[in-house]
């Protein structure tokens, strides 16, 4: 009946998965794990399901600068691929997440930033996924049972993770991390990116009106 049927996804919510080369990731992760363990020691008490997080200023510490170069390079690549006009950008916050058994992250996003990212230092078996949630709330208005979940009917998408992997995504994209089911520690480092000159360069209207100085010249 039809010559061709071609699904055309619209308004994609894209995540960008980067795998750092093993020869770079292995020594980098070893150093990162050691520094993070030092920063959170002694570990404060936690309730079941909670996690440990450092202050959001790791990007200012000298021992994390090798990783910051990875973050900045990946972020520039994403912004350039999106063909965004910008003057400069910077890391506005960076922190470590240390998930013991039962540790999880509830559904959330990262307000007041353009891009967010997470890098994985240690990933125990069974704790190797991050979930991204469909931002279209209306998708749940009519939600019939499905035969098989696929890219067209799912409202949650999981991305598999492993050490040395960096995932960048829009800061508004809601995401979560399920509880670590094992005794091994899951360690990740999250960060946010924002445009340095947003107010001075980017927040003005995108249209041009009649120039005001023309009215001054005409005596209006």
Q: Model confidence over 69-124: pLDDT tens digits?
A: 999 999 999 999 999 999 999 999 999 999 999 999 999 999 999 999 999 999 99
Residue 10 is assigned to a structural domain of this protein: no
Residue 67 is assigned to a structural domain of this protein: yes
Residue 118 is assigned to a structural domain of this protein: yes
Range of the domain at 179: 16-135+151-196
pLDDT of residue 205: 81
Residue 169 is assigned to a structural domain of this protein: yes
Longest dimension (CA), the chain: 78
* Domain tally, the chain: 1
Query: Which residues have CB under 8 Å from 104's CB, separation 6+?
Result: 49, 51, 176, 177, 178, 179, 180
CA distance 212 to 220: 10
In sequence order, what are the beta bridge partners of 160?
A: 129
The enclosing domain of 72 has a CATH number of 2.60.120.620
pTM over 0.85? The answer is: yes
For the segment 22-34, the average pLDDT, to the nearest whole number, is: 97
Two structure tokens written together for 40: 């959170």
Residue 8 is assigned to a structural domain of this protein: no
The percent of residues above 70 in pLDDT, for the chain, comes to 97
Kindly tell me if the per-residue pLDDT of 215 is higher than 60: no
Mean pLDDT of the chain: 92
**Residue matched to tokens 């947003």:** 198
CA distance 32 to 18: 18
How many CB atoms are located within 10 Å of the residue 102 CB? 15
Distances (CA, A) of 136 to 7, 16, 39, 59, 101: 19, 20, 38, 33, 32
């Amino acid at each position: 009946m039809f010559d061709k049927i071609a699904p055309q996804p619209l308004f994609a919510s894209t995540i960008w998965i980067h795998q750092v080369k093993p020869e770079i990731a292995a020594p980098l992760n070893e150093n990162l794990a050691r520094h993070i363990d030092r920063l959170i020691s002694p570990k404060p008490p936690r309730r079941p399901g909670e996690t440990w997080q450092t202050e959001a200023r790791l990007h200012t510490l000298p021992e994390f600068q090798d990783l910051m170069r990875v973050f900045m390079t990946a972020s520039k690549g994403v912004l350039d691929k999106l063909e965004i006009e910008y003057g400069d950008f910077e890391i506005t916050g960076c922190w470590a997440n240390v998930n013991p058994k039962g540790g999880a992250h509830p559904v959330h996003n990262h307000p007041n930033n353009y891009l967010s990212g997470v890098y994985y230092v240690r990933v125990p078996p069974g704790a190797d996924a991050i979930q991204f949630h469909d931002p279209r709330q209306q998708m749940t208005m009519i939600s019939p049972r499905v035969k098989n979940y696929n890219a067209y009917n799912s409202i949650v998408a999981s991305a598999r993770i492993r050490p040395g992997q960096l995932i960048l995504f829009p800061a508004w994209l809601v995401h979560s991390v399920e509880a670590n089911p094992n005794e091994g520690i899951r360690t990740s480092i999250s960060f946010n990116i924002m445009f340095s000159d947003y107010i001075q360069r980017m927040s003005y209207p995108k249209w041009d009106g009649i120039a005001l100085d023309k009215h001054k010249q005409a005596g209006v």
